[in-house]
Amino acid sequence: MGRIGWVLSVVSIAAVVAGGIVFLSYSNDINRARAAVASGARIANTIAGPIEYAEQGDGMPLLSIHGAGGGWDQGLANVADLVGEGFRVIAPSRFGYLRTAIPSDVSPAAQADAHVALLSSLKVDRAVVVGVSAGSRSAIELALRHPDRVSALILIVPGTFAPDSPVMVEGSRGSAFVFWLVNAGADFAWWATEKIAPSVLIRFIGVPPELAKVASTGERNRVMAIVRSVQPLSRRFPGINIDSAPDLQPLPLDTIRAPTLVVSARDDLFNTLPAAKFAAGKIPNARLVVYETGGHLLVGHEEDVRKVVSDFLAAANIRPSSIPPGEGAASVKAARTRQSQADFTKKLR
């Protein structure tokens, strides 16, 4: 073998080895992601059809409605640091996400009815409702259509209606590329982009990359954890496609009677601030909190938001440590059993 042939052989072997390492790394990561969403949740057979959901904690019921790219897992994560103990968090997967099927009617109103069907199947009469991003659409519809089921309404970076400046995906070429990945359900491409150009994905989830770069280590880790939590993308993209083509219309927000908190950031790349201002301006006595920076994930304001939520709930006379009316010792015991099961699942991961 000549010198050139020898060099080519070495390069070929190196390429095969490198490709094998990359494939092994990807396989390990994607298998972990698939295993994570395959456990920890259950299916409720409701009058609206089968709905996937997970629960955590006990006490005051709280319905956590995830945004685009989410599922029950992100629903739990969204409120993990938002509220303290004393809440029974119920986190459904919305239409098209993970194991919740897509019905013929995918409107926010139909999704709100499905939320209520889930609560009814769990024998929950009323709940604090937290809607994040695109999840705010069905949260608002829930407060409008089923006011007796909502003890308080919290809208975080709401992807809802604004008359003059609509919510939209950030318009860079990188975001256009990522949106193509979403439509392709490309698990490997999302994984590779995370490894090679994470700033592209950070921008795609609505956070200015320069903000994430100068954030604390803990906040940078939180941002990247959310980027990774989109995997497996292929099991979420049907829901993402529903969220990406909303038919948003003005709603009778002035009829909402639940105490309402709305939070957004001026530099949210999804442009949720106009929608937040519009909703807070229409809903009677709603409280609006706006941060100058933070992006769509409110980076750098985790403690601030936690305090705002705590103060809001206290002002609404919602006591998280109390047992909701109609729930006796048996219900509390069952809730604690659910928490123990969740803790056991975490230990296995």
CA nearest neighbour of 61 among 276, 332, 341, 340: 332
Q: What is the pLDDT of residue 238?
A: 92
pLDDT at 57: 92
Residue 183, pLDDT score? 65
Say how far apart CA 42 and CA 285 lie, in whole Å.
37
Tokens standing for residue 316: 């609404």
pLDDT value at residue 208: 96
Q: What is the pLDDT of residue 247?
A: 80
| pLDDT value at residue 124 | 97
**C-alpha–C-alpha distance, residues 116 and 32, integer Å:** 32
Minimal CA–CA distance to 281: which of 138, 168, 163, 152? 163
Dist CA 102 CA 100 (whole Å): 7
Full pLDDT tens readout for the chain, 349 residues: 555 554 444 444 444 444 555 657 888 988 999 998 988 899 999 999 999 999 999 999 999 999 999 999 999 999 987 888 899 999 999 999 999 999 999 999 999 999 999 999 999 999 999 999 999 999 999 999 999 999 999 999 999 999 988 887 655 666 666 666 666 668 888 899 999 999 999 999 999 999 999 999 999 999 999 999 999 999 998 999 899 887 888 999 999 999 999 999 999 999 999 999 999 999 999 999 999 999 999 999 999 999 999 999 999 999 875 444 444 434 444 444 444 444 433 433 3
